[in-house]
Amino acid sequence: MTSIPDLDDFTLGELDPDRRATDVTRHLNFDFMAQIKENDANTLVKLLARVGEEAYRRGFQKGASVGMREPDRLPRDLHVWRYGTPLDISPWGDSPQAEEAEHRLMAECTELWGKSGPFWGIVCRDAAEFERRKAEQPE
């Protein structure tokens, strides 16, 4: 098992040349995934998508708040956008479009679905399935 580096080894603003922007699997062991059932894996994917969606919406609202410098004056529709839309839907922040949160997770975290990713062989059974799911993603 790869150990997670100590936070004391990092300096804010220092770039790690070995880290990709989307690498959420780095330093994690996924051996347990070999024992997981397909239904449980699909539930886990849904959970990850919802967590990602919640974090995105919070960050988007915080960015709007910081940008306005008056958080009490945020538009009401931004509050509805964050809290009124189910977390299984991923509304875009810059247009009226939306997509399934699981599709957004797949697009943002491609290493989860690749041949060395923890969901390969469970959610994506083979290369054709991976390519089909990838092709369903909006541009």
Three-state secondary structure call for residue 78: helix
Taking only the tens place, the pLDDT of each residue in 113-125 is 777 777 776 666 5
User: 29: closest CA among 47, 55, 8, 2?
Assistant: 2
Q: Which two tokens stand for residue 120?
A: 């390969």
For residue 51, give the amino acid letter: V
Taking only the tens place, the pLDDT of each residue in 42-89 is 889 899 999 999 999 998 888 877 777 776 666 677 888 888 889 999
Q: How many residues does the chain have?
A: 139
**Would you say the pTM of this structure is higher than 0.85?**
no
Say how many Å lie between the first and final Cα of the chain, rounded: 36
